[in-house]
Structure 1
Amino acid sequence: MLRSRCLKHSQLPHLRNFAHARPPVPSSAYLNRVSGPDVSTSSTPDDLSPSQRRLLEAALRVDQAGEVAANYIYEGQLAILRRDAAASALIQASSHHFSFDDMWAQEKKHLAVMNKLQVQHQVRPTALWQVAKVAGFGLGAMTALMGKEAAMACTEAVETVIGEHYDDQLKDLQGFTHPSIVLLRDVIREFRDDELEHLDTAVEHNSQRAPAHALLSSVVGMGCKVAIELCKRI
């Protein structure tokens, strides 16, 4: 039986909060089912060519792994910046004040949805699952140790690559007509827009003032691109 590897329930926000915090978005189909599942959320195409199936599996494998890494990047950053009220509030809202615009909360939502998509489409998770956790936490902690501007530069670099990656996926998935893939495209578009908002937030919070910003951005961005290619295949 295919199992979804996901964060512990205590690490995920209350999913209904996401569904009701703002007008319905495509991912709400997975987070707030008020009626029974329909074909778009409970089935996978059975008429794909081998190349189309490989494309779908690679896309979901990479996206799920990316959300795992993103969650651990923020966990690593918060472990270092916890005493910096402004930085920690930006990464994670306090338990007394939930902000839907909080970046880590959005990444937790993304992972919750990707876990469901992985099971729905019967996609094997990447074998690099544990590597994504360790690498994500290490990257987050290391950049946070360099200062909050470097932590924001990390977010800027990661989200730049992820935004481009999601754009490529939207092009690759054009022509798929099954309702589940139509919904998947809408979810990817929603998540891309979230990630680009994170990029803008990072820039607004002085990411480009980080020490050796150009070098740091280049190294982090290249690491993300290598990770994407590895997770497609492994």
Structure 2
Amino acid sequence: MSSASESISQAPSKPLPSENPSLTTEQRRYLESALRVNQAGELAAVLIYGAQTPPIVRAHPHLRPLMKHMYDQEAGHFTKFNELISKHRIRPTAMYPVWTAAATVLGWGTAIMGREAAMACTEAVETEIGTHYNDQVRTLLDWQENLKQNGQSLGPELEELLTDIRRIRDEELEHLDHAVEHDAKEAQPYEVLTNVIRGGCRAAIWVSERV
């Protein structure tokens, strides 16, 4: 597995797809914030699965294909948002080092607690991430509908972004389903564990949008 904390390349860039003249300054800022949070969230996901995999697979070898599948999908999501962050010269969150450490500790800690706790972690994280991506899809669809009423469109780059976010959201929700199927709700203490993790995810999203 490659390191998730590799530095983002500073390739030549161009303005956000929000150079579309139909979008407002506020909408452009929304896109920058959304992509910054998405990149930070996918970094965390890669690190969580990377830290969980060795102890989980050691104790439950039959879970190796599932853990690799989920890790590989998260790594793909992270690559996609790294490309967009670099391409459009969006500043990553200043909390990058903090999220790196926190995600690694969360992944390792829940794996040490056992398979059920690791799966409960996945359920909690993917619940919040799925909701976050759903909000972005709804926002882009609202923009699309408003532009259509004025005889305009999102443009090819934002159409592609909408498609990518929908796909990534669906893959995240697939991970949630896998977690539930593998006894996430049997974790002890389930309610405390998932509520703390979900609250931490919401706080991380809020901070990453702003810092």
Taking structure 1 as the reference length, the TM-score comes to 0.76
Deviation of residue 130 (structure 1)? 1.2
- Structure 1 partner of 2:10: none
Quick check: 1:55 aligned with 2:30? yes
Higher helix share: 2
Quick check: 1:45 aligned with 2:22? no
Give the match's secondary structure for 2:17: coil
Match of 1:162 among 129, 150, 155: 129
Contact 1:159 1:198 in 2 (8 A): yes
Listed one character per residue, the Cα deviations across residues 138-169 of structure 1 (whole Å, up to 9, x for unaligned) are 10011111101100000001001111110101
Taking structure 2 as the reference length, the TM-score comes to 0.84
Structure 2 residues without counterparts, runs of 5 or longer:
8-13, 145-153
State the number of aligned residues. Answer: 190
Contact 1:166 1:192 in 2 (8 A): yes
Deviation of residue 119 (structure 1)? 2.0
Listed one character per residue, the Cα deviations across residues 72-121 of structure 1 (whole Å, up to 9, x for unaligned) are 001111243241212343212xxxxxxxxx10000000011111111233
Q: How does 1:66-215 map to 2 (within 5 A)?
A: 66-84=41-59, 85-92=61-68, 102-174=69-141, 175-176=143-144, 177-215=154-192
CA distance in 2, matches of 1:51, 1:132: 27
CA distance in 1, matches of 2:155, 2:139: 14
- Structure 2 partner of 1:221: 198
Percent of paired sites with the same residue: 44
Structure 1 runs of 4+ aligned residues shifted over 4 Å read 6-9
Aligned CA-pair RMSD: 2.1
CA distance in 1, matches of 2:104, 2:16: 34
CA distance in 2, matches of 1:182, 1:121: 16
Give the match's secondary structure for 2:91: coil
Contact 1:73 1:141 in 2 (8 A): yes
Residue 142 of structure 1 aligns to which amino acid in structure 2?
G
CA distance in 2, matches of 1:146, 1:209: 12
